Structures are given as C-alpha cells and as structure tokens.
Structure 1
C-alpha cells in the first residue's frame, strides 16, 4: 500500500483518475441503468471488491490505517498464518464493499481505503484477545496468540468485549453523521463498509482460525 501511494504521488491527475476508475469500488459499476460503463469490464466488476482496499486518499489516510493494522492485524496474522490471513483480508474487503453497495446502490463516488479490512482484523482480535492466555486475558496465564479462542457466544459473555463492540459501533454511527478522522477531511467516511468488514471478521473468525477450540484442545491434551 505504501508503494502504491508513492507511485500515485508522481502520476498525473488524469492517470490517478484512471486508476480510481479501474480499481476503486464504485457502486455505479453494478447499476444496469447507468448512463455509461466504467472501464475494466467484467474483470473490474470482480477485482474492485478487493482492490479498493489497496488505495488511499492521501498519506495521512494510509498511515492511520497502517497504525491500526499494526495494532490489530499483527496478532491476527501471527495466529492465522500468511495464507489464511490473506484470505481473511480478501473476505473482509469483499464484505465491506458489499455493505457499501447495499447502502449506496448506483453511487458514482469511488470508495477506497483498507478500513473494512482493519475493522475485520479488530473483530477477529476480539475473539481471542480477551480469552485466558490471550493478550488482554485474565492475569496469571501464559500470553500466547495461539491460545484457544472463545466461541462467539462465549466472547460476548466477556464484559470488555461488549464494551469494545458497543464503542466501536457507536463511533461508526458518529462517522455516519459527519464526524471525520485525520486524512478524510472533505470526504464522506464509508462507515457501512467498516461495519461490513467488522461483522464479517467477528462472525467468520472460526472459519479461518487454525487453533482448535478450547474443548477440543483439552481433549487432545489431557
């Protein structure tokens, strides 16, 4: 993402517009009643569900997302491994784009940024960070990103998980009413995409998690 942003800073305005037309997520691309077709054809209809996450509005927008990725995606990547983590990023990007498409069908404004993926990583981290032995788990246990995660229901029995999710959802509703963050001044925050990525990460975590659940782990290691 840093390399892409560096390249875009030296390209002409016309070239950057062409990049957005080919790789940003634009809901109007899927509107059969649109007055003109966007470039890229069927390929762009597919790849823009993911490629938009690699583009950013400016360096501040990119750096904010990278800081959040460093904090939340790093433990998830260590737990999942490279292949699972990349697939997880793809799925959360797609979920974010789908949520944005549902909210803004036919819109011509391009959506860019890795926030849906970051949101998915935040949700995935919640599934194991507060578990016994997790980075934010009860004191006295061995800290390890590969400790068994709580079930979805079990995670929501942890008050800190409930507070985290509630604050995160409330913050995104504030984005919806016009609160901005650094790097997004003058642009609308695609908070629906954040929600799509977050709940995809929260609900689909177990499909990517290679660590056996607690009950199974106990039976394998008496």
Structure 2
C-alpha cells in the first residue's frame, strides 16, 4: 500500500521528458528570436508564424508559400512567443497541466494531443479573423496548452480509485463527457478559465505579434479552440483498463453491472 501512496503523491511538476523537451524547444526558439537580432526575428515570424492571409489571399503582402505554408504554420506557430511573459506563462501551464496528461497518455499520444490542439486553436482563430487581422501573425503554444488544460479537466477533479487492480495502480478516472456538466468543480474550473481568457484576451497586450516584434493582443479564440479539442480528444486517446468487475476502469461497478 505504501508503494501505491508514493506513486499517487508524486509532485505534479516532476515533468516527464517529453514535456521538458517541448519546453526546451519553445525556450530555444524564443532565445533565437530575442538575441538573434531584429532581422532574424522577422524571418522566424514570417517562416513559422500563422498568417490568416495565407488562407484567404494567397501572396497578400508578399508572403511566400501561400496556403501550403499556412498548413505547416498551423503547427509551427507554437514554437514562437511574443514576449518573455508569454513564454513563461505558457511554460508554467505546460508543466502544471502537461505533466499529468503526459504521464497518463505517454509521450506519443501526448504530442499528438498537443499538436492537434495547437492546430485546432490556430484554425479556430483564423476563421473568425476579420480583414484587418489577415496580416497579423498568430504565435505561441497557448492553443496547445489550453488543450492540455481541457484534457486534464476530464480527470483532475475525479476521486482517486483503482484504475487497474491487477497492476495495483491507483489514479483518477476519466470522466465521461456526459458527466462533466454534473461535476461542480469541473464546471467551476471551466468557468474561471473562460473568464480569465475573456479578460486577458480583451485587455491583455501579449499573445499575438507583428513582424517587428511588438505585441498586439491575445488570440483568445485560439485558446478556446484548443481547450475544446483537448476536452474532447482525450476520451479517444485513452483506453481505460478493465476494473476488477470486468468493466472499464472509469465506470463504477454498479454502472457497469446495470449495463450488462
């Protein structure tokens, strides 16, 4: 029993290698953009930033690559950040929420989840952009980080129970989507997250950047798209182990018995 308690009480910030590697890439690209000079920063933003213009007006403003490059940038924009504040905030949330998700899914599924959330967040932001935003690049890993927060909300507020009795593994069950609205802590977390994003998105000055390097605003709709993708996708990526009753590990015995 002592072994189980130690496993369950591991610090949340004891990050798996995949999370640390992802954070190192984000830090490395930011150091390049900060200390590599203005010209290199412009090149990085043009090459990696997500420009809505690539999808709606190919070649507008002299952007190379058109929509094909835009598809690549749906992922690559997560490597750049508008400021140290932007990077630090994303890094802290990545460690806090990415660590438990990575421990739960493993490195491959974790990276798949993160990149899909990045892509969906960028896609969401692009297709609500007005004409005035076509040449404003979207940068930052916030959509992916928001997706990890959404994914974590599906299990972070569950009770600790047996996930796999045969392997003597304790953990938190993944909530069914239909149970999410019934769990007050989960809905409170989502409500606070939405309020914070609306507040900082409408008032905060970091999150998007122009090629000259000045911050514009937070792409909060990308956060929303990533969050929704995360809360939905984790249920497809996680295969629940069988419980002692022979049912899925995230279903109580009474529920499983009644479904037979």
Q: TM-score range by the shorter chain?
A: 0.7 to 0.9
SS of match in other structure, 1:177: helix
The alpha-carbon deviation at position 148 of structure 1 amounts to 2.9
Q: Work out which of the residue numbers 111, 136, 154 in structure 1 matches 2:138.
A: 111
Q: Whose Rg is larger?
A: 2
Contact kept? 2:207, 2:215, Cα under 8 Å: no
**Structure-2 change in CA distance of 1:129 and 1:18 (3 Å):** same
**Structure-2 change in CA distance of 1:33 and 1:5 (3 Å):** closer
Q: Work out which of the residue numbers 72, 83, 94 in structure 2 matches 1:69.
A: 94
Contact kept? 2:49, 2:80, Cα under 8 Å: yes
Give unmatched runs, 5+ long, in structure 2.
Answer: 1-25, 162-167
CA distance in 2, matches of 1:188, 1:73: 24
The alpha-carbon deviation at position 167 of structure 1 amounts to 1.3
Matches within 5 A, 1:28-47: 28-32=53-57, 35-41=60-66, 43-47=68-72
Task: Give the number of equivalent residue pairs.
Answer: 213
**Structure 1, 102-111 or 115-124: larger mean CA deviation:** 102-111
Q: CA RMSD in A?
A: 2.9
Q: How far does the alpha carbon of each residue in 1:50-100 deviate from its partner, in whole angstroms, 9 at most, with x for none?
A: 110111112222111101111111000110100000000110001110111
CA distance in 2, matches of 1:34, 1:47: 16
Q: TM-score when scaled to structure 1?
A: 0.85
Q: Work out which of the residue numbers 186, 191, 198 in structure 1 matches 2:227.
A: 198
SS of match in other structure, 1:65: helix
2:237 alignment counterpart: 208
Instruction: Point out which structure has higher relative CO (alpha carbons under 8 A, 6+ apart).
Output: 1
Contact kept? 1:60, 1:183, Cα under 8 Å: no
CA distance in 2, matches of 1:183, 1:100: 11
Matches within 5 A, 1:1-222: 1-32=26-57, 35-41=60-66, 43-106=68-131, 107-133=134-160, 144-145=170-171, 147-180=172-205, 186-212=215-241, 215-217=247-249
CA distance in 2, matches of 1:143, 1:6: 41
CA distance in 1, matches of 2:200, 2:32: 29
The alpha-carbon deviation at position 36 of structure 1 amounts to 3.8
CA distance in 2, matches of 1:130, 1:18: 43
Q: TM-score when scaled to structure 2?
A: 0.73
Q: How far does the alpha carbon of each residue in 1:130-180 deviate from its partner, in whole angstroms, 9 at most, with x for none?
A: 11217xxxxxxx9945x4311011122110111111111122222343245
Give unmatched runs, 5+ long, in structure 1.
Answer: 135-141
